[in-house]
Amino acid sequence: MPHAEIKYTDGLSIDPQALLAQIESRILAHDDGAGACKGRAIKIEDFHHRHIDIKVALLVKPHRDAAFSQALLADLRASLLPLIPKPSFFSLEVTYSGPFYITEELVE
C-alpha cells in the first residue's frame, strides 16, 4: 500500500484532498495492483519561503525499477504542478520502503 505525505506552508492555497486523490490515481495508472494510497497533508505554520514538499513511498517490487520510477515521477510532477499555486517552491520525491518496513490493515 503506497503512502503519500504532503507538507505545505500556511498561506499556500491548495486542496490536499485533490492532491492526494491525484497521487493515488497516477500510482494506479502505472501499477494497477498497488492498491489504495494512504495519505496525509500537514500544514506548516512556521516557515521560510512558501513551499510544498510531497513524498510518495512504495514497497519494493521487481517491476518497480528505475524506468518505472522515472515514469511515475514525471507523471506525478505533470499532474500535480497545475494544482500548486505560484509562486512557490515545489519538491517531489518517490521513495521505496526498505526490507524492515511493515504495513498492514488492522481489522476486528
Q: pLDDT for 13-22, tens place per residue?
A: 999 999 999 9
Mapping DSSP onto H, E and C, the string for 20-58 reads HHHHHHHHHHHCCCCCCCEEEEEEECCCCCCEEEEEEEE
What was the pLDDT predicted at 105?
Answer: 84
- Summarised one tens digit per residue, pLDDT across range 38-67 is 999 999 999 999 999 999 999 999 999 999
* C-alpha distances in Å from residue 84, one per residue of 19, 39, 105: 9, 17, 31
CB 41 within 8 A of CB 13: no
- What is the structure's pLDDT at 85? 93
Give me the architecture of the 3-97 domain, per CATH: 2-Layer Sandwich (3.30)
d(CA 92, CA 102): 23
| pLDDT grade for 103, boundaries at 50, 70 and 90 | confident
d(CA 12, CA 2): 25
Domain residues of the chain, as ranges?
3-97
- State pTM to two decimals: 0.91
